[in-house]
Amino acid sequence: MSTDRRIAGRLAAITIAGVGFAWVAYAMPESPARQPDGARGAVIAAQGVAPGVPACAQCHAFNGSSDGSGAFPRIAGQSAYYLAKQLRAFASGVRTNAIMTPIAKALSPEETTDVAAYYATVIGPFLPLRSPDPMLVKRGEQLANIGDAAKDLQSCNNCHGPGGAGELPAIPYLAGQYAHYIEFELQMYRRGLRRGQPMAEIAKKLGDRDSAAVAAYFQQVRASAPAAAQLAE
């Protein structure tokens, strides 16, 4: 056999082998996407992740009810999608917070989805709180259910769901959320320190007094169960 024929034969064999490998690679199914591990999320909530991530329970409580001060939001039953999105926002700088930013940056993508999955499934108790000003609650109820045409404001429930129960997966529940936290976040939107449309424009139209009214109203709402109950249905 001539040299040319031997070379041609080897090239043909390599080509056939390459086609075979390509076919096998094409035929093999893709690896399934990793599913969030709520059990691992519970461990992160209870113990944190060394280094740089303290236990979530220190601020938000293991049951997601937080401490009632409103400095830390209630996250029990908030949707996993929303919680993970907010953690990524803190990590990327879209949202900034002296406590949450370094924690979110220290979490791996898997840990972020795991802890979000855990808190989405827990149903924490509503802590006893001081009764708000009835007139403030009445104004907040009007804004929540009807809006204010004079201010070009649609009802809060139009986006956040009946009774502020949230709209899965992207819109958070407001029912039972702490008034201090809601009011503070509306202030952050108003000052441009938290980005996001349409909330930034809505917060500006609300102003200080109506922000306090909306916050007071939603804190005392209990009629509609938040996202965790919806997920269980």
Give backbone dihedrals phi and psi of 148, rounded to 5 degrees, phi first.
-150, 105
Number of domains in the chain: 3
Helix (H) or strand (E) holding 119: helix 109-121
Q: Are residues 141 and 67 in the same domain?
A: no
Percent of the chain with pLDDT over 70: 82
Higher pLDDT among residues 185 and 12, named by residue:
185
Tokens of 179: 């008034």
Q: What is the DSSP string of 13-65?
A: HHHHHHHHHHHHHHHSPPPPPPPP-HHHHHHHHHH-BTTTB--THHHH-TTS-
At residue 47 the predicted structure's pLDDT band, cuts being 50, 70 and 90, is very high
pLDDT, average across residues 197-201: 91
pLDDT number for residue 33: 85
Question: What are residue 176's phi and psi, to 5 degrees?
Answer: 85, -5
With respect to residue 214, please indicate whether it lies within any of the assigned structural domains: yes
In a shared domain, residues 47 and 106 = yes
Same domain, 11 and 54: no
Residue 169 shares a structural domain with residue 215: yes
Examine the domain organization and report whether 163 and 141 are in the same domain: yes
pLDDT grade for 1, boundaries at 50, 70 and 90: very low
Domain contains 187? yes
* Domain-terminating residue out of 121, 143, 162: 121
Q: Are residues 114 and 160 in the same domain?
A: no
**Full residue range of the structural domain in which residue 22 is found:** 1-30
**What value does the mean pLDDT take over residues 192-218?**
94
Q: Among 19-33, 124-138, 194-208, name the one with the lowest average pLDDT.
A: 19-33
- 216 with 142, same domain: the answer is yes
Same domain? 158 vs 192: yes
Kindly state whether residue 206 falls inside one of the protein's structural domains. yes
Average of per-residue pLDDT across 42-53: 95
Confidence of residue 23 (pLDDT cuts 50, 70, 90): very low
Does 111 lie in the same domain as 60?
Answer: yes
Dihedral of alpha carbons 74, 76, 78, 82, sign: positive
Overall average pLDDT of the 176-198 stretch: 93
What pLDDT does 196 receive?
80
Note whether 109 and 188 are same-domain residues: no
Residue 116 in contact with residue 84, Cβ under 8 Å? yes
- Same structural domain for residues 140 and 108? no
195: pLDDT confidence band, cut at 50, 70 and 90? confident
Residue 127 belongs to a domain: no
Residue 220 in domain: yes
Q: Is residue 94 part of a domain?
A: yes
Mean pLDDT along residues 190-213: 93
Indicate whether 232 belongs to any domain. no
CATH of the domain at 204: 1.10.760.10
Q: Is the pLDDT at 168 greater than 60, yes or no?
A: yes
pLDDT at 219: 97
Is the pLDDT reported for residue 11 higher than 60? no
Q: Quick check: is 128 in a domain? A: no
pLDDT tens digits along 66-121: 999 999 999 999 999 999 999 999 999 999 999 999 999 999 999 999 999 999 99
Given a cut of 60, whether residue 127 has pLDDT beyond it is yes
